[in-house]
Amino acid sequence: MRTFFLIFFVLFVYLLHAQDITTDETPVLFRKETAWGAMVHTQGLGINYRNGKHKTAALKRFYEFEFVSIRHPKEIKIINPYFEDAKSFKYGKLNYASALRVSFGRHKTLNFKPYWGGVEVRYLFNLGFSAAILKPVYLSILYPTDIPYSYTISDEKYDPEKHNSDLIYGRASFFRGFNELKFYPGVYSKLGLSFEYGSKQDVVRSLDLGIAVDAYLKSVPIMAFDKNNNYFLTLFLSLHFGGREYY
């Protein structure tokens, strides 16, 4: 699957640059554009903010901030079957992972929307930096007491060498571990199509879809017993809402 995504990514870039699409130099009424968005991708969810300006009627350049969650494909929720009120947890998960992305991009129009409305199609390309943010997983661990079938509970950072699944009561508070954040620097790129469907020229309503890749200097440790990669190749779909205005 990842090989397919990578081949698609390379071919798409090649085809877009090989087309030599002529830039429409027609002056545009609106120059500045800002938009907020929400996205879903094949390994999580995210939000973003985009700010840009139209260089011509067909070309727009912008910068973008994104914050997305990253889920390992082997994450599975389980519950300790020996305790009726146990909480679910993901056995083997070492860290919660997310990514903060900062990138510069461009939209280039492939077809203009008719004056009576419709859908305008653009291609989009982003390139920038990505920082993976890892927060350790804390679990509630059971410790036997001198009284039969009686336990004490201690919230501890998950240690695969120490914590057996039979003695894990469930997940601890998500807010534990924020003072132990780790950052993994890397690069980021996104390629796709943007469909502008807003009926008003000064209102941004668009849907983007495509593929994105985050690549880091070393593997990002999310799971204890599964392979952790230093890159993430994902499909994404995002919705954007905002506005356009004069300079």
Each residue's pLDDT tens digit, 11-26: 455 445 444 444 444 4
Grade residue 27 by pLDDT with cuts at 50, 70 and 90.
Answer: very low
Give the residue, 99 or 112, on which the prediction is more confident: 99
Please provide the average confidence, as pLDDT, over all residues in the chain.
86
Which pTM does this prediction carry? 0.83
pLDDT of residue 136: 97
Could you tell me how far CA 131 lies from the centroid of its own chain? 11
pLDDT of residue 101: 98
pLDDT of residue 55: 82
The CATH number of 2-245 is which of 2.40.160.20, 3.30.750.210, 3.40.50.1970, 1.10.10.10? 2.40.160.20
Domain-wise residue ranges, the chain = 2-245
| pLDDT value at 153 more than 60 | yes
| pLDDT value at 172 more than 60 | yes
pLDDT of residue 20: 44
pLDDT of residue 191: 95
| pLDDT value at 108 more than 80 | yes
| pLDDT value at 134 more than 80 | yes
- Give the chain as a 3 state SS string: CHHHHHHHHHHHHHHHHHCCCCCCCCCCCCCEEEEEEEEEECCEEEEEEEEEEECCCCEEEEEEEEEEEECCCCCCEECCCCCCCCCCEECCECEEEEEEEEEEEEEEEEECCCCCCCCEEEEEEEEEEEEEEEEECEEEEEEECCCCCCEEEEEEECCCCCCCHHHEEEECCCCCCHHHCEEEEEEEEEEEEEEECCCCCCEEEEEEEEEEEEEECCCCCCECCCCCCCEEEEEEEEEEEEEEECC
Grade residue 220 by pLDDT with cuts at 50, 70 and 90.
Answer: very high
